[in-house]
Amino acid sequence: MNWTSPGEFFAMGGYSTYVWGSVLVSAAALCAEWFFLRGRRKAALSHVKRELTLRKEHSDETST
């Protein structure tokens, strides 16, 4: 496709609603995935930290 102006580019040959809607939904999905992954990572790290603390406490109790 050849666009002679920015307006023609953004109009996408009359399919702008579908094209830009798809771009928007994809960007929103990527942002949501990043947000949820960050939360799961934080939860996993806190779980590992808690487990290590409990193991250390348990090993200190058994060694005394």
pLDDT digits (tens, 9 = 90+) for 15-57: 999 999 999 999 999 999 999 999 999 999 999 999 999 999 8
In the chain, the amino acid numbered 6 is: P
| DSSP 8-state assignment for residue 15 | T
Would the pTM of this model clear 0.75, i.e. be above it?
no
Assigned domain for 22 exists:
yes
As a dihedral over the C-alpha atoms of residue 48, residue 49, residue 51, residue 52, rounded to 10 degrees, the angle is 110
* pLDDT for res 24: 97
- Within a domain: residue 1? no
How many domains is the chain built from? 1
Q: Quote the pLDDT of residue 13.
A: 87
Segments forming the whole domain that contains residue 10:
6-62
Two tokens, residue 29: 């999905």
Residue ranges of alpha helices (H) inside 1-64 are: 6-11, 16-63
pLDDT band at 60 (very low <50, low <70, confident <90, very high): confident
**Predicted pLDDT at 59:** 86
User: In angstroms, rounded to a whole number, what is the distance separating the alpha carbons of residues 22 and 2?
Assistant: 21
